Structure 1
Amino acid sequence: MREIIFDTETTGLDPKAGHRLVEIGCIELIDRRESGRNFHAYFHPERDMPAEAEAVHGLSMQFLADKPLFAARVDELMEFLGDAPLVAHNAAFDFGFVNAELARVGRPALDPARMCCTVQMARKLHPGAKHNLDALCVRYGIDRSHRVKHGALLDAELLAHLYIEMTGGRQIGLGLASAATGAAAAPGAATPAAPRGSDRPFREPRPHMASAADLARHAEFVAGLNQPLWLDTV
């Protein structure tokens, strides 16, 4: 299963108020594991950068002055996203900005049905707790010490680790889940073994219970011990 974890940085909070996308970072997951592929881009916003936004992500207009417009890289972005589910923290915010930029260049909006929001997941898993990225990284033991300011690719990488942990952890991709049997397993039931491949030789089960001879040898050994410690407590 292919999924895309992504994050954005912007000039403000509301695309309807004229705020623009300035950075996007995307991480590809295959079967809940990072594939090593990512997409990262900065964009010129065609407007000023408010001081409060720059304080959050550190992206100044001086830095963004020579960066391309969104239109110049939209084809690369859409090719990378493909038709995969899109995972973001407070996903409605990120979807809103990406869709606003897509509308400006005459491209179809991202389908909300593809949206997976880790804030909503966290609220269900940990009601009443803090659900920001820093707090969740602490809860799940994810190192965020290198996160001095917000950054789209860095935050997407942290979110990828967080999403993996929130959806079952690393073991989800190790083949430990039971094979589909057409019926739900009872809670606490043992996981059935995977079917034995036809190329594997059959081996008789090995006995694990002590034999009568083993028990006799053990009794003889114990009888020969000189003042064993456990007799002091009898």
Structure 2
Amino acid sequence: MREIVLDTETTGGSAKNGDRICEIGMIELVDGAATGRIFHSYFDPCCDVHWAAKRVHGLSRKMLTGQPLFADHAQGILDFIGADPVLAHNSVFDQRFVRAEMERLGLVPPGNNQWRDTIRLAERRFPRGPAKLDLLVEKLEIETPDRKIHGALLDAAILAAVVARLRGQPDIDIVPLMSQAQPRPSAARKPGGEADLRPQAATPFKTPDKTPQDLQRNRDQQRHDQACLALRDKVQEAFDQAQSFPDFMARVETSGLRVRPNLSKTTGELGGLRFRSDDVYLLSSALGLGRKTFEQGVLKYDPSTMLEETQAYNARYTADFGQCAHETLPKGRPSWHCPSLKLNRPEIAVAASAEEVDAEVGAKTVTEGLRKEIEQVNGWAPRLDSAMYEMLKSGQDDWSRVAPKHLVAHTQAAHGDESEPLRAIMYMPDTDRNTALRWVCRGLDPAHALCKTTAPRMKFGYPLPEIVVQAARNIHRTSMRAHECRDMDETVEP
């Protein structure tokens, strides 16, 4: 059976909003083996490349100017695919862009029934994850060329090797496939200093010029984004400095904002907060402050002692601005250009005593075999191989089902607020943070958990908070001679 492994690089994340394909790579498979036939090309997208997309693939508008247009190779792409299945990792993304490009030219794109998402294949093999391509490469121990940035043909070749390993078919060598790749474009300059731009072919599609109304709308949106960020910054300052919930409310109003608590009329429980500036209002959920934020920790809201004071804020807000249903200011709806409005959370947001942890977490059992493996990791400090950590991650014990807030409470009670590796783990993305916390709760040293979680991310250039990177480097420096975290030798500079 013939299959096509496909990957694209684009100018942004939304084909619907006009982002274009700037590179495509395809590899032909017959009965699971690479035939050596590939299709690879760069394209001039005739539009700017978003900064986030440029961080992924490193291609800029200047580098792509003078490359062929997608229209020049559209029919060749369709001919290469034919009626055969198309394999792609997160195929919905690639399918939308290919369809948009083909429909823009009046061509019929590959049908929906042709696309096969390799994430589903990975999930059948590893129900507990991982599903990301980089992590699958590490888990399946596939040798790949050094890849600091993404490339369509390189990613397609890696995906072909992953698919072969997942299916139990003969391995696919990536190097011969990459030898046929097109030269990567560069923004070369002539001796005079001007960019070396080749004549550009006529484009069949031209983005219409923006009207005065469009320009005014963009200016209004920029002002709206700035107002949302200004409000977020004031709440962030109050959030960082507050020592209690009443102190937080007072600091918010001192900063020039107004705050309205959403209180239950029957129980007095806090459902959320509304923050209002002179230009815009935002709900606490938009800032990443859910109900659970105020149910525990330093900013815990206690209706029995704080209800009357909190109702006073509600009454003053209603007297000045009326009911929320008659709000005159616009609700904060930032554009996709605007940075995230989520507050930077404190390093450990849950403060819990040992008694509270015991009451909430209960007795979490760890199997005897798992306990011995953990003791070996902590005692011998061996090479932290993926097989051992996968076993630790998927251990069938009560920690596998513990909620994140309980994990945080337990690790804080066990290790305290001064543990640098633990503080760094709290800044990891949600999935990685919860995975590392489950390891720590089973008894694994936080330094080992942090190193193993960050190693694949740093190897492939995944953006991480500076506190995470610095903590990993500090651990690496202090433990290199003791042969700890040895699997980070090639990923973290001492």
TM-score (norm 2): 0.34
Where does residue 143 of structure 1 map in the other structure?
A: 143
User: Distance between the aligned counterparts of 2:144 and 2:19, measured in 1?
Assistant: 28
Tell me, yes or no, if the aligned pair for 2:78 and 2:109 is still in contact at 8 Å: no
Whichever residue aligns with residue 39 of structure 1, its letter is: F
Cα deviation, residue 130, structure 1: 2.0
Q: Give matches, 1:185-224, under 5 Å.
A: none
Where does residue 69 of structure 2 map in the other structure?
A: 69
Other structure's SS at 2:16 match = helix
User: Distance between the aligned counterparts of 1:31 and 1:127, measured in 2?
Assistant: 25
Q: Percent of aligned positions with the same letter in both sequences?
A: 42
Tell me, yes or no, if the aligned pair for 1:134 and 1:144 is still in contact at 8 Å: no
Other structure's SS at 1:16 match = coil
Aligned-CA RMSD value: 1.2
Greater RCO, CA 8 A, separation 6+:
1
Q: Give matches, 1:1-234, under 5 Å.
A: 1-170=1-170
User: Distance between the aligned counterparts of 1:2 and 1:124, measured in 2?
Assistant: 22
User: Distance between the aligned counterparts of 2:145 and 2:25, measured in 1?
Assistant: 19
Where does residue 213 of structure 1 map in the other structure?
A: none
- 1:110-143 deviation digits (Å, cap 9, x = unpaired): 1111111111211222122221111001111111
- Greater share of strand residues, 1 or 2? 1
User: Distance between the aligned counterparts of 2:114 and 2:108, measured in 1?
Assistant: 14
Whichever residue aligns with residue 74 of structure 1, its letter is: A
User: Distance between the aligned counterparts of 2:138 and 2:10, measured in 1?
Assistant: 25
Cα deviation, residue 145, structure 1: 4.3
User: Distance between the aligned counterparts of 2:83 and 2:147, measured in 1?
Assistant: 30
Cα deviation, residue 79, structure 1: 1.2
Other structure's SS at 2:150 match = coil
Where does residue 230 of structure 1 map in the other structure?
A: none
User: Distance between the aligned counterparts of 2:90 and 2:143, measured in 1?
Assistant: 21
Whichever residue aligns with residue 88 of structure 1, its letter is: A
Whichever residue aligns with residue 160 of structure 2, its letter is: A
- 1:154-190 deviation digits (Å, cap 9, x = unpaired): 000000011111122218xxxxxxxxxxxxxxxxxxx
User: Distance between the aligned counterparts of 1:27 and 1:51, measured in 2?
Assistant: 28
Tell me, yes or no, if the aligned pair for 1:5 and 1:27 is still in contact at 8 Å: yes
Whichever residue aligns with residue 130 of structure 1, its letter is: P
- Greater share of helix residues, 1 or 2? 2
User: Distance between the aligned counterparts of 1:169 and 1:92, measured in 2?
Assistant: 25
Tell me, yes or no, if the aligned pair for 1:7 and 1:88 is still in contact at 8 Å: yes
- 1:38-90 deviation digits (Å, cap 9, x = unpaired): 00011111111111111110111111001111111111111111111100000
User: Distance between the aligned counterparts of 1:79 and 1:115, measured in 2?
Assistant: 16
Whichever residue aligns with residue 87 of structure 1, its letter is: L
The farther-off stretch of 75-84 and 146-155 is 75-84
Other structure's SS at 1:170 match = coil
Other structure's SS at 1:17 match = coil
Where does residue 228 of structure 1 map in the other structure?
A: none
What is the aligned length?
171
User: Distance between the aligned counterparts of 2:53 and 2:110, measured in 1?
Assistant: 25
Whichever residue aligns with residue 131 of structure 1, its letter is: A
Other structure's SS at 2:38 match = strand
TM-score (norm 1): 0.71
Tell me, yes or no, if the aligned pair for 2:78 and 2:110 is still in contact at 8 Å: no
User: Distance between the aligned counterparts of 1:130 and 1:12, measured in 2?
Assistant: 25
Whichever residue aligns with residue 166 of structure 1, its letter is: L
Whichever residue aligns with residue 69 of structure 2, its letter is: L
Other structure's SS at 1:47 match = coil
The farther-off stretch of 114-123 and 147-156 is 114-123
Whichever residue aligns with residue 22 of structure 1, its letter is: C
User: Distance between the aligned counterparts of 1:109 and 1:80, measured in 2?
Assistant: 12
Runs of 4 or more above 3 Å deviation: none
